[in-house]
Structure 1
Amino acid sequence: MIRFLFRWIVRLLFLAGFAVFGYLVYFYFEIAHEVEPLVHYNPPKTTQIFDRNGKLLANVFEKEHRLYVPYKEIPGRVIEALVAIEDTLFYEHHGVNPEAIFRAIIKDIKARKMVEGASTLTQQLIKSTLLTRKKKIERKIKEALLAIRLEQLLSKEEILERYLNAVFFGHGYYGIRTAAYGYFRKDLDELTLKEIAVLVGLPKAPSAYDPTRHYANAMARANRVLNRMKALGWIDEETYLREIKEAPKVYDDTLTKNRAPYIVDAVMNMLQKEYPDIRRGGYKIETAIDLEYQQMAKSALNYGYDAYLKRHQNDDTNTSVFNGAMVVLDGRSGDILAMVGGVDYKKSAFNRAVSSRRQVGSAFKPFIYQTALELGYNPESKVADIARTYRFESGDTKKLWQPKNYEKDYKGMITLREALIHSRNLATINLVSEIGIMTLHKKLSPLGVKNLPYNLSIALGNIALSPLQVARLYTVFADMGRLHEPRLVTNIYDNNSRLIKHYNAKVKKIYSESQAYLMVDILRDIVKRGTGRNARVKGMDVAGKTGTTNKSVDTWFCSFTPDVEAVVWFGNDNNTPLARRETGGRTAAPVVRYFYQKLIQIHPEFKRKFKEPEGVYHVMQNGKDLIYTDKSPLPKEDQIIENEEIIF
């Protein structure tokens, strides 16, 4: 009887074992395809934006911050440390470790619950990417089967590469390179052995071992890694004793490390249409920005902002809507070195440097005067700074326009130089009237300014442009007649560091150097003794033009030195007037001075004086050094214009 029962029990066990085996085989083939995401592994990767000197401006990502590292760039010590603490027999098993499983089962039976896992690195990879972390029998079986399948399809090196890029290292860091940069600000090949031990010890319990929150726990875990490596004979006693004493410096950085948010937004807006995966494709974007300039520009803009608030702290002025923007270009290339879209990104992410359209006022006058020079006028040619009445029709209504100077006075006949130096409205209007609207438009068309008014209001800068657009226009003076398209992005690389696009600088010659220099000389005088006096920098040539619109709604200062161009705008976001007596010369010009002073402190090698081109001639007349060119000779006689009423 006993023998009979024993036979049936053996048969039943055999049948049960065969059934389990059959089920596992069936289950294996049912789920085998689920490893495909790991076989063709392409996780979301962080795009990084750099300045012109290779300094990180920001990390940009959607959900997971991951800086991918291929296996060939992973140091051997990282692999050794990982295998030592997580899966010593990694190179010997085929996805699962039977010995470890048996050991874990015994412990689980004794504890009457699942207290220890026996996961290999391959199983951990499966668990962290394809499965849940809940300790259920069915999940563990699936995990083991998928690990076996993955080992059939991938090499050990490929599995390690995926593991070290996929797993979570705490603090929002996915992948070991991300964690290395995040915690230690180092790439993998720069890490010490103790820092490596900290990192490979993290995946077991990322929150508990996060060194920014639980430093002691992290170091204790790292020391266990080092101890395991010593026990295996992979490091010697001397190395072990030296490394356990090390206390690495840990950084608690933000994930994005965004040091120039207005720049980053502008880059993303520029590229996201052409590269829909820009936030997850792991691109490397090189910009023309110089982070040093960016920080100086931000500091300069805040200086002007604080000065305005201080001037009006005791009056009824609403300063809550007051804001500004600043653009700095390389005057010889058009590269955008700095761009600050507001005084506080946290309060307002709206980029006024790019997206706002504000009246430019008198800042547009130099282009009108340059047109006159192109037509043969000379800086010493005279124009009437007198009052005139203009009659025009608006629908069925006849109206009069009687423009005035800001100072509400008249100078009579004055030179073009003096008219622009003191930003005389009436002189400019009369000059436009002399030139003719159609001629002026024809001469200005190469500048590419859209929506220029077809009436005399063009003389007062009745044109809405962004600070970046204004900066673009002023490159024609900063580079002696050559108009540059501002360049923000220079190169884009894919995740394998292959160059996929280079953005060429775009330039177009508008004026000859000698003709442009006539205007540069006038604009330099504006800073020396005109409306731009608050932008003077000792020992350095600064040229520029103020801009103040009606009722001081917008205030500008557009400037350049022999090397660098800077444009500043201030105004209220709701288009209401600024406080009384605020002008481009008072509100914006000091910002330029502050910026250039900081710049030459850091870069004393910069050019201090404008270089006069060939074709510019000098003559002394009445004790004055006058300049002229073949196209713009000195006037032979005064121009006389009487008061009159003009109808248009």
Structure 2
Amino acid sequence: MKFIKRLLILAIICILLGVGTIFGFYVYVKPELPDVATLKDVELQTPMQVYSADGKLISQFGEKRRIPVTYNDIPQDLIDALIATEDSRFYDHPGIDPIGITRAAIVVAMSGSAKQGASTITQQLARNFFLSNEKKIMRKIKEIFIAIHIEQLLTKQEIMELYANKIFLGYRSYGFGAAARVYFGKDLQDLTLSELATLAGMPKAPSTMNPIYSVERATNRRNVVLKRMLDEGYVTRSEYEQAKNEPIVARYHGAEIELNAPYMAEMARAWAVEQYGEDVYESGMKVYTTLDSRLQNAAEKAAINNLLSYDERHGYRGAVATLWKDGAEPWDAEKIAKHLKQQPTYGELNPAVVIKVDGKAAEVELQSGETATLPWDGMKWARRYRTDTRQGTAPKQAADILAVGEQIWVRKVDDAWQLSQVPDANTAMVAMSPENGAIKALVGGFNFVHSKFNRATQSVRQVGSAIKPFIYSAALDQGMTLATLINDAPINKWDSSQGTAWRPKNSPPTYIGPTRARIGLATSKNVMAVRVLRKVGLDETIDFLTRFGFKHEELPRSETLALGAGSLTPMQVAQGFSVFANGGYYLKPYFISKVEDPFGQLLFTAHPQTICRENCDSNTSKLSSDNLMEEENLLDETAAMENEPEFAPQVISEQNAFLTREMMEANIWGGGDWRQGTGWNGTGWRAQKPLNRRDIGGKTGTTNDSKDAWYSGFAPGLVATVWVGFDDHSRELGRTSRNANLDNSQISGAEAGAKTAQPAWIDFMVDALVDVPAQRKVVPSDIVKVRIDRDTGLLTRKNDASSMFEFFEKGTEPTDYVSSAASSGNIYESEGEELF
């Protein structure tokens, strides 16, 4: 009894010492323990996501991929698998498992190493939220105390929910919702028992036990999880056997991007960081842009296909690389596949290796490991590229183009593979609403992976003849009419400082003498534009152009301005054309419509400028036409963040905008009557048949030596600008000869706005306007329509092919009638007096 008494006293002393030691440790570490109450309002770090206006995911930014799920969203099989594997007494212990700790201690004492863990799910949660993974005694002690605090604060369901969302599971995935997407491409609720067990086994070693890193290790670990579930009674023997025998099929699944708009995504990312700081990457913020997914898809397709068409008609520049030469031992399929997996893809362009060339076809191995056939129709375009102005002869068989062992680019066109190549030139397209400035579609280049430079907003290029509508608008503002005669004749201007004469020329260099202004703009007559500029005055013209948002420093103080020497971005050009489309109002483009937090609460709503046409207080506009030139950033979103919308200033009259649109409509539809011999076409005539509607208009733009090609135009509710050129400003777009292998629809000759840029604009508008009914012309007040003589622009009493109706602003219409002598054409016999 004395021994038992002493043993009992010793036990009590040990217990008191143990409790005292634990209490001492608690007092010691208490100042360093975090406030676990923060878990009640924890904000899980989720990536920022960027969407289109209609809710299509464009991109997400952030190191951690996480898809938060509620406890009720977690499949019961996953909960059972985690409890069976990680913490079988989860529902019974107070945060730590004494039995598990004792068992682990015995294992350590017997083996000398920690072969068995003792951390509960609550302890793992404490470590994931508040501690590091360093293997130190003090860290473990803190973990125990934090776990006990967590159990006192949260329910078991809340603990499981936080654990399921916080745990790292490899490949930047945090939480089981994200892991289900990353490894299996499914929602968590759609996973099989085998797949859930695979995920449940990964917390032990997420970087090495995931099925992408090692299917074998993942399978072994899954089977351990399934066996634990069987032993704990969570699954039946048949369920266990079925899940165990199911092969693991996994691969990396990136974010499911629903809309390809990487340049806009980058603009939205930069804007969000500027507004909210670097924390946006883990904020779960949802940024909604103004993009229309249907229009964005149409713009991407039109711009890239047009660029590839331009590049291919200039010839094939050859293979990317030669992996083995003729006579050498060919690579096997496995070696080819390994090589191709290391190569990038650029949108529709996929790397491939030629493995057979036979007659007018070739076989290639694709990056996927599949074998595909390149038919003759998919490669007959491939004349050899010589220079930007010269191509080789048309090939006659596949061997003239390809050789076995070459690495090439291919793309799929109408379900058939076609030879392609990464274009040397580049492109940009911007489409916006002229009614509020919302950017509806934006293409910043051929491919964001290939080049992140955004040509839509950052590339400042000479605009060529696309500047002419603004110059003619300035002349209309000073009283010119659509019927005003301007002399289409050569100009010689002596420059005494240079000792040379400036001789601007038409393209093509043909001249027809005195010509009405409508025809001059529609047919893009260079010398007529120079004379219009002279009539208005250089300084006056530059001042007038700043009304459209252009800056003084972008506009050269030279008569070359009339030929497009000014340099603008595609975004600025589109914004300028919007003024004509909306009746004369300056609207700053904007691209962010709203921002929400992870719970759907609104953080920001855009309040873009609005157009007020009736009963407007002119003082409500914060931006007047007098200070447009002071604007620093065309895409500044600051104004859109005001609580109240502002009225857009009217910078030209509704009548001026209407008359300028009339000239641009003639750019597409021309005028006259072909049956009567008076018909003529504008430079944009190629849009007539594909679009077949009269409520459209636009203007071509080509710079000297064809270094830049443009087309800008409008349609109901939409303005779009297309640019094509080389990033190297010194390189010309060149010219092409006809390819004997292609049909008569091919483009040939010198590249220019109508051939190089307008096809993309046409293709885009065909898709954009498919459900938009044609609109009847709305004639503003103070616009009159009178019959004039085609040759002189004067009034006429004739009702035949020599006459036509023309629009005039009231008070500017002609008052004199044409004489019989004038209508005969003899009125312009004298060359001594120029018109304009």
TM-score normalised by structure 2 residue count = 0.67
CA contact (8 A) 2:584 2:657 kept: yes
Which blocks of at least 5 consecutive residues in structure 2 are unaligned?
Answer: 316-384, 390-421, 611-647, 670-680, 736-749, 788-798, 819-826
Question: Residue type of the partner of 2:709?
Answer: T
Give the Å deviation of 1:232.
6.9
Q: Structure 2 vs 1, CA of residues 644 and 515 (structure 1 numbering), >3 Å: closer, same or farther? A: closer
Are the equivalent residues in 1 in contact too, given 2:180–2:186 (CA < 8 A)? yes
Counterparts of 2:502 and 2:143 in 1: how far apart (Å)? 84
How far, CA to CA, are the matches of 2:655 and 2:80 in structure 1?
68
In the TM superposition, what are the counterparts of 1:407-446 in structure 2 within 5 Å?
407-446=508-547
Q: Name the CA distance, whole Å, in 1 between partners of 2:704 and 2:235.
A: 76
Query: AA paired with 2:93?
Result: H
Name the counterpart of 1:465.
568
Q: Which among 696, 709, 722 is matched to residue 555 of structure 1?
A: 709
Deviates more, 1:110-119 or 1:190-199: 190-199
Contact 2:583 2:654 in 1 (8 A): yes
Does the 8 Å contact 2:48/2:281 carry over to 1?
A: yes
Deviations 1:246-296 (A, max 9, x none): 999866322585943211111122232211022222210011123343333
CA distance 1:20–1:554, change in 2 (3 Å): same
SS of residue paired to 1:338: strand
| Contact preservation (8 Å) 1:164, 1:176 | yes
In structure 1, give the amino acid aligned to 2:658.
Answer: Y
In 2 relative to 1, CA 222–391 (structure 1 residues): closer, same or farther, beyond 3 Å?
A: same
* Displacement of 1:355: 0.9
For residue 627 of structure 1, what is the aligned residue in structure 2?
806
| Aligned 8 A contact 2:486 2:514 in 1 | yes
- Secondary structure of the 1:278 match is helix
Which residue is 1:479 aligned to?
A: 582
Other-structure match for 1:574: 728
Displacement after TM superposition at 1:222 (Å): 6.7
Shift of 1:229: 7.0
Matched-pair contact (CA < 8 Å) for 1:540–1:608 = no
Describe the shift of the 1:191–1:479 C-alpha distance in structure 2 as closer, same or farther (beyond 3 A).
farther
User: CA, structure 1 residues 239+333, in 2 after alignment: closer, same or farther (shift >3 Å)?
Assistant: farther
2:583·2:658 contact (CA, 8 Å) conserved in 1? Answer: yes
Query: Matches of 1:185 and 1:564 in 2, distance apart?
Result: 38
Shift of 1:537: 4.6
Name 2:752's counterpart in structure 1.
Answer: 583
Counterparts in 2 of 1:233 and 1:58: CA distance versus 1, 3 Å:
same
- Corresponding residue for 1:149? 149
Q: 1:284 aligns with which of 278, 286, 309?
A: 286
CA distance in 2, matches of 1:119, 1:551: 73
1:325 is aligned to 2:428: yes
Work out the CA distance in 2 between the residues paired with 1:583 and 1:280: 47
Matched, 1:24 2:22: yes
1:119 is aligned with what amino acid? S
Give the drift of 1:420.
0.9
Q: 2 CA distance for matches of 1:249 and 1:287?
A: 36
Residue 262 of structure 1 is matched in structure 2 by: 263
The residue aligned with 1:118 is 118
Q: Which segment drifts farther, 359-368 or 42-51? A: 42-51
The CA distance in 1 between the partners of 2:31 and 2:161, in whole Å, is: 20
2:215–2:248: 8 Å Cα contact kept in structure 1?
no
Please give the root-mean-square deviation of Cα atoms over the aligned residues, in Å. 4.0
301-310 vs 466-475, which moves further: 301-310
Matches within 5 A, 1:176-255: 176-183=176-183, 199-207=199-207, 210-212=210-212, 252-254=252-254
Which of these residues, 500, 503, 528, is aligned with residue 402 of structure 1?
503
2:778 aligns to what SS in structure 1?
coil
| Larger relative contact order, structure 1 or 2 (CA cutoff 8 Å, min sep 6) | 1
Report the equivalent of 2:690: 538
CA–CA distance in structure 2, aligned partners of residues 274 and 323 of structure 1: 31
Q: Do the aligned partners of 1:321 and 1:574 also contact (CA within 8 Å) in 2?
A: no
Question: Which letter maps to 1:89?
Answer: R
Cα distance in 1, alignment partners of residues 587 and 220 from structure 2: 58
Which whole-Å CA distance do the structure 1 matches of 2:780 and 2:247 have between them? Answer: 64
Shift of 1:39: 4.4
The residue type equivalent to 1:607 in the other structure is P
Aligned counterparts of 1:642 and 1:236: Cα–Cα separation in 2: 103
Where 2:271 maps in the other structure, the secondary structure is: helix
Query: Deviation of residue 548 (structure 1)?
Result: 1.0
TM-aligned CA distance change 1:574 to 1:91, over 3 Å: same
Aligned residues: 639
How many Å apart are 1:604 and its aligned residue? 3.1
Structure 2 residue identity aligned to 1:268: R
| Rounded Cα–Cα distance in structure 1 between residues aligned with 2:198 and 2:804 | 72
Distance change in 2, residues 1:149/1:554 (3 Å): same
Rate the CA distance shift 1:278–1:138 in 2: closer, same or farther, 3 A: closer
Is the 1:422–1:531 contact (alpha carbons within 8 Å) kept by the matching residues of 2? yes
The answer to whether residue 593 in structure 2 is matched with residue 490 in structure 1 is yes
1:522-553 per-residue CA deviation (whole Å, 9 max, x = no partner) reads 22222233222344452433422111112222
Cα gap change, 1:539 to 1:467, in 2 (>3 Å): closer
Task: Give me the whole-angstrom Cα distance separating, in 1, the residues matched to 2:294 and 2:191.
Answer: 27
Question: 2:589 is paired with a residue of what secondary structure?
Answer: coil
Distance 1:25-1:538 versus aligned 2 partners, 3 A rule: same
Q: 2:607 aligns with which of 487, 500, 504?
A: 504
> Could you tell me which amino acid in structure 1 is paired with residue 163 of structure 2?
Y
1:605 aligns with 2:774: no
Separation of aligned partners in 2, 1:195 and 1:611: 62
Equivalent residues of 1:477, 1:517 under 8 A apart? yes
Tell me if the contact between 1:515 and 1:629 (Cα under 8 Å) persists in the aligned partners. Answer: no
Could you tell me whether the CA contact under 8 Å between 2:658 and 2:780 is conserved in 1? no
Q: Does the CA contact (< 8 Å) of 2:291 and 2:440 recur in 1?
A: yes
Answer yes or no: is the 8 Å Cα contact 1:390–1:646 preserved in 2.
no
Q: CA deviation at 1:568?
A: 1.1
Indicate the residue corresponding to 2:659 in structure 1: 518
Q: Which runs of 5+ in 1 are unaligned?
A: none
One-letter amino acid matched to 2:447? D
> In structure 2, how many angstroms separate the alpha carbons of the residues matched to 1:37 and 1:555?
63
User: Alpha-carbon deviation of 1:555?
Assistant: 1.3
Output the amino acid matched with 2:584: G
Where do residues 98-117 of structure 1 align in structure 2 (5 Å cutoff)?
Answer: 98-117=98-117
Q: Does 1:596 align with 2:765?
A: yes
Give, in whole Å, the separation in 1 of the partners of 2:435 and 2:250.
Answer: 42
Q: CA deviation at 1:57?
A: 0.8
Is the CA contact (8 Å cut-off) linking 2:519 and 2:666 kept in structure 1?
no
Decide whether the 8 Å contact of 1:388 with 1:644 is kept in 2: no
Report SS of the residue matched to 1:122.
helix
User: Residue 47 of structure 1: CA displacement?
Assistant: 0.3
Give the secondary structure class of the aligned counterpart of 1:560. strand
The secondary structure found in structure 1 opposite 2:469 is helix
TM-score, normalised relative to structure 1 = 0.85
CA contact (8 A) 2:548 2:575 kept: no
The answer to which of 557-566 and 30-39 deviates more is: 30-39
Aligned-partner SS, 1:252: coil
Quick check: 2:287–2:594 contact (8 Å CA) kept in 1?
yes
Contact 1:547 1:555 in 2 (8 A): yes
